[in-house]
Amino acid sequence: MKTTSRFCDIFSDYTDDNNVLHFDAFLTSDPDEQGKTVAWLFNGKPYYANAEDQFDPGLREAIQEELNDTIQNHD
């Protein structure tokens, strides 16, 4: 099983008007690189731009952290 992410950085700092959280990823640490949206979280369920990314450990961790934060803030 792959244990390292193919992404250098993953951010989830944008929620759209439909309450969908966007996960943007960067392949390098180049400050000029333009990231791309690789996943969305809606009603506690992740959706992936590329089905293969559902197995990426870095993206899985980022999504799980958001889900954990949602659970903690809901209590």
| 47 confidence band (pLDDT: 50, 70, 90) | very high
Indicate whether 2 pLDDT > 80: no
Indicate whether 75 pLDDT > 60: no
What pLDDT, on a 0 to 100 scale, did the predictor assign at position 49?
97
Q: What is the mean pLDDT of residues 1-22?
A: 91
* DSSP-assigned letters across all residues of the chain: ---S-S-SEEEEEEE-TTSPEEEEEESS--TTPPPEEEEEEETTEEEESSGGGGG-HHHHHHHHHHHHHHHHHH-
